[in-house]
Structure 1
Amino acid sequence: MTSMIPAAPILPGWSHVYSGKVRDLYQPASDGGPFAGRDDVVLVVASDRISAYDHILATEIPDKGRILTGLSLWWFGQLNVPNHVVATTVEDGVPAAVAGRAMVCRKLEMFPIECISRGYLTGSGLIEYRASQTVCSLPLPAGLVDGSRLEKAIFTPSAKAEVGEHDENITYEAMVDTVGAGIAEDLRRLTLGIYSRAEEIARERGIILADTKVEFGTDPATGVITLGDEVLTPDSSRFWDAGLWAPGQAQPSFDKQYVRDWLASAESGWDRASDTPPPALPADVVQRTRARYVEAFERLTGATFV
């Protein structure tokens, strides 16, 4: 990640400890606040930042952080899986300045694995399939094309990379070597269960869930494997419009595709191979990208985004 991350907001009662591509993390300050003195929680704030091609862009997408947070919270409520959420409202301790885009979460001992479930062939899986007819070394039938629905969803883990690096697809056997056979099986079962439930819910709303990435950790207080980070948002999942699904070509997705397409176009004037940061996004690209995120939120949840 070559672009600078903007300074995180100062929040009374909380001390900033880390910033990622989208999220800022805080721990309770020692000098007051509703969670003062606690070392078992963290405040997760979703910004409006957007990244593409290993750069954090200078232009933000208005309300993106609120959409990601609201959608994650909605999905947590649909899934019968323990999650890390402790508080989501100002009344329960979320700072008013970041209300709607932040949640207080339990600290988890995170597993160094990105847990990915794929029900359709596309993206990096398609690249590997074309070379070897496998995805993460799992053999697949011949004749599949971009957007093909798999007969059965598959679990394809990846190893978490350092910030700014790409996660590396690994085999299930390599995952077992990292976390142990018992944990590996639990993570696979939980991930495929989440995908199955979410794919069914999305399909009822005219949306295809092609694949999704989830992360888990152990709750130190209980030892229970717990779902963390964001879940089933356009930043962590690939959603397609079921009415437009047409295998054999790239599918329009509910994410930052408008941003990637514009940056790759001659109009942007940006050379991806250079060390030059990407240019500011034009207003119409910002508006269309925001609209795509809003549409995903509203179609999935059935609620109007305000």
Structure 2
Amino acid sequence: MTTDGHLELPGYAHVYSGKVRDLYAPLGADGAARQDQLLLVASDRMSAYDFVLDTPIPDKGAVLTQMSLWWFEQMADLVPHHVVSTEVPAAVAGRAVLVERLAMLPVECVARAYLTGGGLNEYRSTGAVSGVELPAGLVDGSPLPEPIFTPSTKAPMGEHDEPIPFAGVVDEVGQALAERARDLTVRILQRGNEIATERGIILADTKVEFGLRGLTLGEGEDERAAIRDRGADCEIVLADEVLTPDSSRFWPAESWEPGRQQPSYDKQYVRDWLTSSASGWDKSAGEAPPSLPEDVVAQTRAKYVEAYERLTGQTFRA
């Protein structure tokens, strides 16, 4: 383990660490980092309110990785995914995958089937979410007339993503690619709900990441400009994670009741504790959150595992 928290993995060079994931490049025979693949490692780190908490959730990385692999297969007829192999170093077995290195779309692709969270706050202020007008009278947990695409900016770590209208996505990636990303995001949410509802779970909303396969940059060419100018000619690929408790809101269908905050399988449990009087933390103060108590850690882990087992029908094995 290095001083900044990522592992030293023989045969791999550390590239980047985000809130939850660490990226490594495989080393070629010449010792240089390969440019076509990445090792994507899901850590047990937990993020909330734009902070990375100092208390990990045991097995969280393995749950996220294994759930994503299962969902990638459920979406295979809709969109290709970026996974190359699950043969990874023993130190990260079960929580890492070898993936294609892609040009990632510079926007957050979000779809909502129910109104809650930041979308609810925006609706209460404007009657719309990301520029999509919604009927009057909706409350926390209300189903939407149909799933909607509600994209946001992709902010650097520690900063807030901000909702943008569809026109903002067009500005970033061009009309054709923006339409493909919108339609795929909504279809992934719909497919997820088709599967989840059979298992007694509501998928309220989700965030997905897309990359482009086959975008070759010229020397010194800006990637964002290349995506905007030539991205429509490339194959779009589902990347990062998909329909996990970190990227989505899962609600037990039997306890769903519009007009209040819903019980959930996602990290809302951690958020709720952090904003409760028990934590003693003021999220408006700008200070880092406190450590999580053992019972919150245990119950959060249990919720992640239950979501995996209930959705996949498989027993979780770390």
Cα deviation code 1:103-162 (max 9, x no counterpart): 000011111111111111111111111122111111111111110111111111112111
Among 176, 187, 200, which residue is 2:181 paired with?
Answer: 187
- The match for 1:13 is 11
User: Which residue number in structure 1 is paired with residue 59 of structure 2?
Assistant: 63
2:278 is the alignment partner of 1:278 = no
Aligned equivalent of 2:252? 241
Cα displacement (A) at 1:37: 6.1
> Contact 1:13/1:31 (CA < 8 Å) preserved in 2?
no
Q: Go from structure 1 to structure 2 and tell me whether the alpha carbon gap of 1:273 and 1:130 turns closer, same or farther (over 3 Å shift).
A: closer
Deviations 1:55-89 (A, max 9, x none): 21111000000000000000000002111000112
Q: d(CA) in 2 for partners of 1:216 and 1:276?
A: 33
Tell me, in whole angstroms, the C-alpha distance in 2 between the residues paired with 1:6 and 1:283. Answer: 24
Matched, 1:99 2:62: no
* SS of residue matched to 2:284: coil
Q: Where do 5+ consecutive residues of structure 1 fail to align? A: none
Aligned to 1:147: 141
CA distance in 2, matches of 1:194, 1:270: 36
TM-score w.r.t. the length of structure 2 is 0.89
Q: Encode CA deviations 1:203-256: one digit per residue, 9 max, x unaligned.
A: 010000000111111112793111111000010001100000000111111112
The amino acid of 2:7's aligned partner reads P
Higher mean alpha-carbon deviation, 42-51 vs 119-128, is at: 119-128
User: Structure 1 residue 291 and structure 2 residue 305: aligned?
Assistant: no
Asked if 1:87 is matched to 2:113, the reply is no
State TM-score, norm by structure 1: 0.92
Residue 268 of structure 1 aligns to a residue whose secondary structure is coil
In the superposition, relative to structure 1, how do residues 269 and 205 fare at CA in structure 2: closer, same or farther (>3 Å)?
same
TM-align CA RMSD: 1.7
Q: Distance in 2 between matches of 1:121 and 1:276?
A: 29
CA distance 1:88–1:244, change in 2 (3 Å): same
The residue identity in structure 2 corresponding to 1:61 is I
Q: Which residue identity lines up with residue 50 of structure 2 in the other structure?
A: D
Task: Tell me the alpha carbon deviations over residues 2-50 of structure 1, each in whole angstroms, 9 at most, x when there is no partner.
Answer: xxx94200111101010000000000124579xx763200000000000
- SS for the counterpart of 2:285 is coil
Aligned 1:1-306 pairs, distance under 5 A: 6-30=4-28, 38-79=34-75, 80=77, 81-89=79-87, 94-220=88-214, 223-306=234-317
2:25–2:33 Cα contact (<8 Å) kept: no
Unaligned runs of 5+ in 2: 216-232
Q: Percent identity?
A: 61
Residue identity in the other structure for 1:283: E
For the residues of structure 2 that align with 1:270 and 1:132, how far apart are their CA atoms?
A: 30
The whole-number CA distance in structure 2 between the counterparts of 1:128 and 1:281 is 29
Number of corresponding residues:
296
Name the CA shift for 1:243/1:229 in 2 (closer, same or farther; >3 Å). same
Q: Is the 8 A contact 2:13 2:33 kept in 1?
A: no
Return structure 1 stretches of 4+ with deviation > 3 angstroms: 30-33, 273-276
Whole-angstrom CA distance in 2 between matches of 1:156 and 1:275: 27
Between stretches 273-282 and 43-52, larger displacement belongs to 273-282
Take 1:37 and 1:266, find their aligned partners in 2: how far apart are those partners? 48
1:264 and 1:61 map into 2 onto residues whose CA distance is 18
